[in-house]
Amino acid sequence: MKLNENYILKTVAGMPVVVPVGDAVNNIRGMITLNGPAEIIWKGLEAGKSYDEIVSEIKSEYDASEDIIKKDLDSFIEKLKNYKILE
């Protein structure tokens, strides 16, 4: 899995946001605000981490079951694919 290079993670007013650049501004207008787990996922994808490595990192930061983490991770990945942010 590889993130589309036309979307970059920035911090705006202390919040992690994904900003479209280049041609991507025609697909998504504005910014996408990320919560804590979504930021971990994004950074993990940027770093080329595996699915299991991302799950483990989220689990070490948040008190949630592995099943819930995997369900949320799958959902977020699917959304990124639907918007062509994740290739």
pLDDT, residue 27, reads: 82
Q: How many structural domains comprise the chain?
A: 1
Model-level pTM? 0.91
74 assigned to some structural domain: yes
2 assigned to some structural domain: no
1 assigned to some structural domain: no
Contact 44, 53 (CB under 8 A): yes
The residue assigned the tokens 């799950």 is: 55
pLDDT, residue 26, reads: 81
In terms of residue numbers, what domain contains 23? 7-82
The secondary structure of 13-27 as a DSSP string is TTEEEEEE-GGGGGT
The secondary structure of 44-56 as a DSSP string is HHHTT--HHHHHH
The residue assigned the tokens 């705006």 is: 12
Say how far apart CA 66 and CA 17 lie, in whole Å. Answer: 25
In tens digits, the chain (87 residues) has pLDDT values of 899 999 999 999 999 999 999 888 888 888 999 999 999 999 999 999 999 999 999 999 999 999 999 999 999 999 999 989 998
